[in-house]
Amino acid sequence: MKNILIIQPIDKSGIEILENRPDYNFEIIDGTDLEQIKEKIVKCDGISIRTAKLPADVIRSAKNLKIISRHGVGYDNIDLEAAKEKNVTISITATANAVAVAEHVMFMLLNISKRKDMYDKTVKSGRFNDRNKLPKTIELWNKNILIMGFGRIGKSLIKRCIGFEMNVYVYDPFVSKEEIESLGGKKIEDLKEGVKKMDALTLHMPLNEKTKNIINYEVLKNMKKNCIIINASRGGIINENDLNKSLNENKIFGAGLDVFDTEPPDNDNPLLKNDKTFLSPHTAAFTEECMVRMGKETIQNIIDFFDKKLEKSKIVKL
């Protein structure tokens, strides 16, 4: 019998998989109380976890733990060293998220370029006749977009950008020029030079020491004034203070943010009050369809692991 701890609720389709397996016990907890996780983790063989933090001391208190299955693809909430030290496998729902996030990027790009809030408010407040006085919107057609990080989400997004007839550039030191060109993009080697000609820039890489603050004032001040920046990867990859300053100095046109340095962001975070930002609460992957896919995959990954058939592409290299 395997004991599975589900930290933070998942879609019922995932739970149903476990209900049909008499060889698995499971318990669902909300993940807000670290002491509770620490107490429950002692006896469990596998964990499914969403965004709750799993620090080193919690992982170290586990006795039988073999797998931490992330409901999602980022794993910066898990202490990797402790997992490695205890020989715990970390898996991700690698096939579930990409399309949902890529669609969210298009949604943010369109909302900002079409000045959604301003136009919507104009009509709803009875000012239809102001239509000629409003600042104009921007087309995506024929514009240069830079996709930074060309993994699952970047590759899903390029198809959508090409659908809008955008010119797609890619910055990812780990993906070859040939692969990028085969999917219709152009590889950028020099980021500082490359950003100068972009009309849009979107981030799809992991947060680590190399990517933290990779988008900072030095980069932003050289961008085109009409440039739109989207971050649906992780907060911290863009320096938030520098972004706010650049928006206020009209160095760039707008920013769409699904993720923040601190989540939830502080109430006094100026990006929350800036008219040039378009925000969502880390929900790029929260489509109904994606929640079902993630719920099923996070559980299936645990079962596949114990059945010794978990695909390598779903395992995080530690």
Ligand X SMILES: NC(=O)c1ccc[n+]([C@@H]2O[C@H](COP(=O)([O-])OP(=O)(O)OC[C@H]3O[C@@H](n4cnc5c(N)ncnc54)[C@H](O)[C@@H]3O)[C@@H](O)[C@H]2O)c1
State the residues that interact with ligand X by CB under 6 A.
72-74, 97, 101, 148-154, 171-175, 204-206, 210-211, 232-234, 258-259, 282, 284-285
DSSP strand E in 105-224: where? 144-148, 167-171, 186-187, 200-203
Residue facing ligand X at closest CB distance: 151
Least separation in angstroms between residue 104's CB and ligand X is 7
Specify the residue, 143 or 314, whose C-beta has the smaller distance to ligand X: 314
Closest CA to 108 of 264, 206, 253, 9: 253
Least separation in angstroms between residue 231's CB and ligand X is 8
Q: Which of 39, 81, 165, 263 is catalytic?
A: 263
Specify the residue, 65 or 158, whose C-beta has the smaller distance to ligand X: 158
- The C-alpha atoms of residue 201 and residue 238 are separated, in whole angstroms, by 11
DSSP strand E in the chain: where? 2-7, 24-29, 46-49, 67-70, 89-91, 144-148, 167-171, 186-187, 200-203, 228-231, 254-257, 277-279
Q: Which two tokens stand for residue 309?
A: 């058939």
Least separation in angstroms between residue 312's CB and ligand X is 13
Q: Which two tokens stand for residue 168?
A: 């797609």
Specify the residue, 54 or 153, whose C-beta has the smaller distance to ligand X: 153
Specify the residue, 173 or 184, whose C-beta has the smaller distance to ligand X: 173
Least separation in angstroms between residue 133's CB and ligand X is 36
Catalytic residue list contains 104: no
Least separation in angstroms between residue 146's CB and ligand X is 11
252, 228 contact by CB (below 8 A): yes
Residue with tokens 């921007």: 138
Catalytic residue list contains 288: no
Specify the residue, 74 or 265, whose C-beta has the smaller distance to ligand X: 74
Catalytic residue list contains 297: no
Least separation in angstroms between residue 77's CB and ligand X is 10
Q: Which of 70, 104, 234, 293 is catalytic?
A: 234
| Residue 31 falls in which region: left (phi positive, over 0), alpha (psi -120 to 50) or beta | left
Residue 255 burial class via C-beta count within 10 angstroms: exposed 0-12, middle 13-18, buried 19 and up: buried
Closest CA to 7 of 57, 74, 56, 77: 77
Specify the residue, 18 or 201, whose C-beta has the smaller distance to ligand X: 201
Catalytic residues: 234, 263, 282
